[in-house]
């Protein structure tokens, strides 16, 4: 990546204690050669899985002020936008406006969206974020990385089999994104119960104008521990490897699994 500067605008959470959001995503991207400009959607003492947490939520107006400052200095030229956790609908709508403006300036810009809504059957953000993600955010995204619960929520379809998962990914394709990765699922692994199943689908425009679809199934070894921030790391590493291999989701997945395993072993 030394031949050219590749710049990412990362709009995610920040915590004082721990590693989630921008603290999970920014440094690994920088190690891989990306320049990362970070905007913190929230600034909390710690992630919300703790019994107590304190902090501030960035408003849409405050996000707009930060973005205007970047524009006034003419340093708002990005190759990627990466977004994760937020708790405010107007903030999320402002993110969409920023992404659309940046895409007008650079039609090749890639928007990677982790639609953080919840997991294991329950939401951990306000429910009014759901329609904003579904109707406004996902349609402008190029790559999305929902977990199974989020994919089901966005499409209104349950996943019980791999066939269901493929249908859900196709529904998400129809909503906008060309690359969809269901980062974790409850589907049984062919390698046994010590593995987690992740599924991906990528549509590629062929020279003749048709679209080819590549499907990927990843069996990820489970670790007997509780981790936070792995979804944020997953989305960041997917961004990195799709930059190197934009039309080869299988290769992206192989590199991603190595990065995730290394990241967990460092915790």
Instruction: Give CA separation, 261 vs 39, 82, 128, 206, 224, in Å.
Output: 27, 22, 34, 33, 13
Burial of 82 (0-12, 13-18, 19+ CB in 10 A): buried
What is the model's pLDDT at position 2?
45
Query: Annotated active-site positions, please?
Result: 232
By residue count, the chain amounts to 267
What is the model's pLDDT at position 259?
59
**Nearest-angstrom CA–CA distance, 25 and 221:** 21
What is the model's pLDDT at position 258?
61
What is the model's pLDDT at position 114?
97
Please state the pTM of the whole predicted model.
0.91
**Nearest-angstrom CA–CA distance, 46 and 16:** 6
What is the model's pLDDT at position 247?
84
**pLDDT tens, the chain, 267 aa long:** 444 589 999 999 999 999 999 999 999 999 999 999 999 999 999 988 889 999 999 999 999 999 999 999 999 999 999 999 998 999 999 999 999 999 999 999 999 999 999 998 999 899 999 999 999 999 999 999 999 999 999 999 999 999 999 999 999 999 999 999 999 999 999 999 999 999 999 999 888 888 899 999 999 888 776 677 788 999 999 999 899 888 888 786 766 666 565 544 444
């Amino acid at each position: 990546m030394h031949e050219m500067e590749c710049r990412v605008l990362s709009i995610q959470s920040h915590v004082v204690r721990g590693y989630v959001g921008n603290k999970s995503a920014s440094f690994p991207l920088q190690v891989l050669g990306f320049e990362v400009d970070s905007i913190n959607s929230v600034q909390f003492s710690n992630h919300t899985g703790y019994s107590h947490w304190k902090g501030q939520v960035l408003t849409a107006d405050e996000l707009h002020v930060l973005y205007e400052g970047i524009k006034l200095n003419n340093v708002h030229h990005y190759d990627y936008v990466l977004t994760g956790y937020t708790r405010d609908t107007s903030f999320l709508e402002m993110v969409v406006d920023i992404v659309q403006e940046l895409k007008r300036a650079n039609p090749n810009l890639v928007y990677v969206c982790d639609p953080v809504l919840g997991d294991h059957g329950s939401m951990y953000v306000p429910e009014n974020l759901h329609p904003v993600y579904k109707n406004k955010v996902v349609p402008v995204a190029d790559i999305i990385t929902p977990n199974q619960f989020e994919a089901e929520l966005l499409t209104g379809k349950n996943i019980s089999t791999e066939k269901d998962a493929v249908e859900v990914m196709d529904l998400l394709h129809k909503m906008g994104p060309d690359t969809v990765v269901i980062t974790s699922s409850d589907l049984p692994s062919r390698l046994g119960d010590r593995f987690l199943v992740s599924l991906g689908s990528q549509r590629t425009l062929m020279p003749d104008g048709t679209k080819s679809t590549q499907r990927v199934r990843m069996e990820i070894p489970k670790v007997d521990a509780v981790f936070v921030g792995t979804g944020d790391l997953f989305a960041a590493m997917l961004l990195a490897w799709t930059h190197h291999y934009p039309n080869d989701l299988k290769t992206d997945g192989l590199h991603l699994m190595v990065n995730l395993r290394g990241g967990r072993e460092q915790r």
